[in-house]
Amino acid sequence: MSKPVLVVGAGPVGLTMAAELARYGVPVRLVDKAPGRTDQSRALAVWPRTLELLAAAGCAGAFVATGLHAEAVSIHAGGKVLARIPFATIASRFNYLLMIAQSETERLLEDHLQSLGGKVERGAELTDLVDRGDGVSCTLVHDGGRSETMEAAWLIGCDGAHSFVRRRLGLAFEGDTLPTGFIIADAHVAGLAIAPDEPAIFWHSDGAVMFFPMAPGRYRIIADIGSTPLHAPDLKEVQAIVDQRGPGGITLSDPVWLSDFGVNERTVRNYRAGRVFLAGDAAHVHSPAGGQGMNMGMQDAFNLAWKLALVERREAGPALLDSYSIERSAVARQVLSDSGRMTRIVLLRSHLAQWLRGFAVQGIFKIPLVRRTVANRLSGVMIAYPDSPLNAGFARGLRGARPGQRFAADYAPGAGDLPRFTLVATDDAQARAMMARHTALLKPELRQPPRKGIWLVRPDGYVAATARSGNWPVIEAALAGMAADPSPLNRRF
Ligand SMILES: Cc1cc2nc3c(=O)[nH]c(=O)nc-3n(C[C@H](O)[C@H](O)[C@H](O)COP(=O)(O)OP(=O)(O)OC[C@H]3O[C@@H](n4cnc5c(N)ncnc54)[C@H](O)[C@@H]3O)c2cc1C
């Protein structure tokens, strides 16, 4: 483990990646070409599944204490509330949406990284990479022009939507650019008559205006601008849109950020090329509708870190790493499709389509199951890896989480410094023998099963294998398939 892993880009994804590797004792360097942290608020929404993973990493408390807790989101049109989707039904101990500026998220992640002995090397740009098969030769150019060549065990490109790493590998970023632009303002808002910590979307025949709370009295305002060329607005223009499309009686003041953005929907097919991985915006970009981009990127990092740590520590075989791209690219495809659909619904222009939209949304969101499903889907707790190559031993008829699904809403793997699977099984001689055989992969303590059966739970809380009580060969085979050096005993199965 002498060569470090090089993480390129200290946005939320690179910071998460470096902190997780540091937590697991893997040598890591984190570089960013920018001289300082972003002061832009960009991503505001941190969803429950991300909070669960931050809790496992040992740093959710600081996030929960810093952000606003939004209890619901509402959709309005023509002076009526069309729908209100409460978050209390989300199957997580974090059953709310945390609103926190991306600049704060990055600050908290950097504090967490520092608490683990890591740091960000700023003003250091990756300008070349060569994958040599047993490592990656990287060229870094530091502020002032000093050039450094370093050997990395692995390189992880968390270098954002315009990723140098992706371009250097020649990976196509397939997808489209939407023809509509958006403007954005972070400003003080007076006169908005909805709960102060509730995101609210107002539909109007000319477009939408959306309010996302950031701090008492302060909101992120987003509005679509059709085919008008992209431009940073002034406050007067935003006020005019709010007056026209909003509920009326709102006064904006004290803007701290006025900007614009276009929407790209793009992904790479494979997040891995040899010893180089991509994560976050470097691998996928999409509409901010649903607030998923940063969450998805941070979850990429959580997914890859434990696998890379096990492989680097020689506790699992390298095939474990092949599951990363398969699992995460499937999630990205789903999120791209969901956020694209949401965006197109917001952008409907024909009067008939808008009328139908209002009628359908009002009717469908009266059904509690619909409200609950939408909230849980947005929260990330329904993310699953049904096609993961790590899934093994689905026991038909066994109630409870299946391979690829999140184990349980209240499951907290506990912040530890080694990535370990948990055996959920009744305490008996066979269970203890299994733990004794697989000390490199299994936690040394059992968790009692919620009902009859055996579950093998991954370090990130997803089920790897299930078996009926007593059917230990299934679990043994799953562990042996991942182990670095399957023992003769394991090969028996
Ligand atoms: C207006 C807006 C609102 C959004 N709202 C949400 C939301 O509510 N929820 C959500 O989940 N997402 C949201 N997003 C998306 C979110 O901001 C991104 O998904 C997130 O920033 C991606 O993080 P990242 O770490 O992958 O990349 P980035 O944050 O782009 O970081 C990449 C880093 O890499 C560095 N870098 C680049 N090239 C090099 C190089 N060659 N060498 C060294 N360093 C390099 C850059 O300096 C940068 O610091 C929003 C985005 C926008 C624009």
CB atoms within 10 A of CB 141: 16
Q: Residue 293 C-alpha to ligand 1 middle, in angstroms?
A: 8
Q: Residue 492 pLDDT more than 60?
A: no
Q: Which residue's CA is the nearest one to ligand 1's atom 17? A: 43
Question: Residue 290 — left, alpha, or beta (φ > 0 → left; ψ -120 to 50 → alpha)?
Answer: left
Q: Which residue's CA is the nearest one to ligand 1's atom 2? A: 42
pLDDT confidence bin for 487, thresholds 50/70/90: low
pLDDT confidence bin for 489, thresholds 50/70/90: very low
Q: Residue 12 C-alpha to ligand 1 middle, in angstroms?
A: 7
Q: Residue 397 pLDDT more than 60?
A: yes
Q: Residue 488 pLDDT more than 60?
A: no
Counting atoms of ligand 1 from 1, which one is nearest the CA of 9?
34
Inter-residue long-range contacts of 268-271, CB under 8 Å, 24+ positions, other chains counted: 268/166, 268/171, 268/172, 268/173, 268/174, 268/329, 269/171, 269/172, 269/174, 269/329, 270/171, 270/325, 270/329, 271/300, 271/324, 271/325, 271/328, 271/329
pLDDT digits (tens, 9 = 90+) for 224-256: 988 788 888 999 999 999 999 999 999 999 999
> What pLDDT, on the 0 to 100 scale, is given for residue 493?
35
Paired strand residues for 266: 175, 285
Q: Which residue's CA is the nearest one to ligand 1's atom 50? A: 43
> Using an 8 Å Cβ cutoff, are 259 and 232 in contact?
yes
Is the CB of residue 10 below 6 angstroms from any atom belonging to ligand 1? yes
pLDDT confidence bin for 5, thresholds 50/70/90: very high
- The mean pLDDT of 451-475, rounded to a whole number, is 94
pLDDT digits (tens, 9 = 90+) for 177-198: 888 889 999 999 999 988 888 9
CB atoms within 10 A of CB 443: 20
Task: In whole angstroms, give the CA distance from residue 448 to residue 408.
Answer: 13
Least confident segment among 105-114, 338-347, 381-390, 420-429: 338-347
Q: Residue 143 C-alpha to ligand 1 middle, in angstroms?
A: 21
> What pLDDT, on the 0 to 100 scale, is given for residue 491?
41
Is the CB of residue 481 below 6 angstroms from any atom belonging to ligand 1? no
Q: Which residue's CA is the nearest one to ligand 1's atom 18? A: 294
Q: Which residue's CA is the nearest one to ligand 1's atom 31? A: 11
Task: In whole angstroms, give the CA distance from residue 302 to residue 459.
Answer: 10
Is the CB of residue 298 below 6 angstroms from any atom belonging to ligand 1? no
> Using an 8 Å Cβ cutoff, are 360 and 434 in contact?
no
Q: Residue 396 C-alpha to ligand 1 middle, in angstroms?
A: 42
Q: Residue 490 pLDDT more than 80?
A: no
- The mean pLDDT of 379-385, rounded to a whole number, is 96
CB contact set of 412 (below 8 Å; sequence gap of 6+): 52, 55, 56, 93
Q: Which residue's CA is the nearest one to ligand 1's atom 42? A: 125
> What pLDDT, on the 0 to 100 scale, is given for residue 213?
95
Average predicted confidence (pLDDT) for the chain? 92
- The mean pLDDT of 303-315, rounded to a whole number, is 96
Question: Does pTM surpass 0.75?
Answer: yes
DSSP count for the chain of H helices, then E strands = 13, 23
Q: Residue 361 C-alpha to ligand 1 middle, in angstroms?
A: 32
Is the CB of residue 160 below 6 angstroms from any atom belonging to ligand 1? yes
CB atoms within 10 A of CB 121: 12
Is the CB of residue 45 below 6 angstroms from any atom belonging to ligand 1? yes
Q: Residue 155 C-alpha to ligand 1 middle, in angstroms?
A: 18
In order of start, what are the domains of the chain with their CATH numbers? Answer: 5-44+101-173+268-347 (3.50.50.60), 175-264 (3.30.70.2450), 384-493 (3.40.30)
Q: Of 390, 397, 387, nearest to 453 (Cα)?
A: 397
pLDDT digits (tens, 9 = 90+) for 70-102: 999 999 998 999 999 999 999 999 999 999 999
- Greatest pairwise CA separation for the chain in angstroms: 75
Q: Residue 413 pLDDT more than 80?
A: no
Q: Residue 102 C-alpha to ligand 1 middle, in angstroms?
A: 9
> What pLDDT, on the 0 to 100 scale, is given for residue 486?
55
Is the CB of residue 289 below 6 angstroms from any atom belonging to ligand 1? no
Q: Side-chain half-sphere of 97: how many Cα atoms within 13 Å?
A: 28
Q: Which residue's CA is the nearest one to ligand 1's atom 9? A: 291
Task: In whole angstroms, give the CA distance from residue 458 to residue 420.
Answer: 7
Q: What is the DSSP string of 278-299?
A: E-GGGTEE--STTS-HHHHHHH
Please indicate whether residue 195 or residue 133 has the higher confidence score (pLDDT): 133
CB contact set of 28 (below 8 Å; sequence gap of 6+): 4, 5, 6, 7, 18, 21, 22, 118
Q: Residue 323 pLDDT more than 60?
A: yes
> Using an 8 Å Cβ cutoff, are 333 and 267 in contact?
yes
Is the CB of residue 129 below 6 angstroms from any atom belonging to ligand 1? no
Q: Side-chain half-sphere of 444: how many Cα atoms within 13 Å?
A: 3
Q: Residue 132 pLDDT more than 80?
A: yes
pLDDT confidence bin for 415, thresholds 50/70/90: low
380 to 50, 97, 294, 314: CA distances (angstroms): 8, 11, 12, 31
Is the CB of residue 212 below 6 angstroms from any atom belonging to ligand 1? no
